[in-house]
Amino acid sequence: MNLQESALDHARLAALLTEARVGLLLQTLNGEGEETRIVGGAVRNALVGRHVHEVDLATTAHPDVTRARAQAAGFKVVPTGLAHGTLTVVVKGEPYEVTSLREDVETFGRHAVVRFGRDFAADALRRDFTINALSLDVEGRLHDYAGGVADLAAGRVRFIGDARRRIREDYLRILRFFRFSADFAHGDLDAQGLHAAILEREGVAILSRERVRNELMRLLVARRAVEIVVAMAQAGFLGRFLGGIGDGARLARAVAAGRDATGRLAALAVATSEDAARLRERLRLPNADGDRLDAYARLVERLHDAPTAVDPLGVRRLVADVAPVAVADALAALGGEPRPGISLEAMQAVAGYEADPARVPTMPLRGRDLVAAGVPKGPAVGAAMARARAHWLALGCPTDEGDRADLIAAALAAGP
């Protein structure tokens, strides 16, 4: 073990085996000629002292054997990926993916014909990056068939073997190369990996929008998101995934403000309502995310022409019209630009509304109030409410019930 490797957290690695449910599952699946190990992300994250979100296992046992042993122990078994040998075993309420060792027979970009095997080294070497090919056996021995430990210690993200071949097996690995580099690497992107990605760039066209969205959103919250996104743009990849250009400066401000993945996507790729509509379709965004990008776009367009700086009163008016999360996204991305000026107090105000949406002002007037005041039912009520709302916003969004009469007067001033 060299000096760099000694900096890795081997105590955290050993702790993976002391978790009671993991130990029980390993005990259940091992024996009688079969071996099961912890693999992949759990081993990698433990070594660098990061939170382990989930523990995946690989086994020499055929899926039928895994199922039989798990069920005999009283565990629930779900065939989540049976075609590729993956079962989810639920141990005392905690799910664990257990996959039989595999060897690729044929690969087709995102698809592969596999056969089950018994060789941990062969299984590891079919993975994408060296840092994802690590495994930990029940005795606590770390197995590294591709130099992943040294790469992890040095902050390198490298494809295993021939980078172009790895990419052709699964074109999503191009985006994963950028994402893992943003999360685990230091310094420049691996030159061979980047060159291979550029040569194979046309292959990303076959990827599903959902898979691209998942990887992209994870990249945007990675440690070096801004730096790697800039590198992607320089290499010609950002447009392929977003269908447009990106704004690295706005992304950097969104990151500095601690915005989540959706807020960062908005800052990076949305300048107009057309951008928001394109991304909703291109990335198959969930409705909530798409609506948030729409609101962000409208705010950016509106604030760009604002004649005065945004202060706490301006924030109060904005959150009365648009969800606080979208207002916070927009102010974070635009902060520091010549227009609009955004005060520190404004940023503090929007943070308060986002933390406690119950504080968002609500106009103390309802359609029934206008009908009672003599406005005919139907379109006239909507027009009167619009006049009342404009007056309410101009006043700074008062919420006292005593203001209702003033709002009714404003609603009736230019109508029946």
pLDDT along the chain (416 residues), means of 10: 61 91 96 96 94 95 96 96 91 96 65 77 95 96 96 96 96 98 96 98 96 97 97 95 94 97 98 97 97 97 85 95 96 90 93 96 93 92 93 92 90 72
Q: What's the topology of domain 156-242?
A: cca-adding enzyme, domain 2 (1.10.3090)
In sequence order, the β-bridge partners of residue 38 are 57, 136
CB 338 within 8 A of CB 307: no
| Cα dihedral 246, 252, 254, 258 in deg (nearest 10) | 140
pLDDT of res. 102: 86
Q: CATH 1.10.3090.10 region(s) of the chain?
A: 156-242
In degrees and rounded to multiples of 5, residue 31 shows phi and psi of 100, 165
pLDDT of res. 3: 40
CB 125 within 8 A of CB 134: no
CB 254 within 8 A of CB 332: yes
Q: CATH 3.30.460.10 region(s) of the chain?
A: 3-154
Residues whose CB is less than 8 angstroms from the CB of residue 415 and which lie 6 or more positions away in sequence, other chains included = 375, 380, 383, 384, 387
Token output for 184? 């685990």
Residues whose CB is less than 8 angstroms from the CB of residue 338 and which lie 6 or more positions away in sequence, other chains included = none
In sequence order, the β-bridge partners of residue 36 are 59
Other C-beta atoms closer than 10 Å to the C-beta of 214 total: 15
CB 371 within 8 A of CB 381: yes
pLDDT of res. 112: 58
Q: What's the topology of domain 3-154?
A: Beta Polymerase; domain 2 (3.30.460)
| Cα dihedral 351, 355, 357, 363 in deg (nearest 10) | -30
In the sheet that 76-81 helps form, which strands lie side by side, from edge to edge?
Answer: 76-81, 86-91, 94-100, 56-59, 36-39, 134-136, 142-144
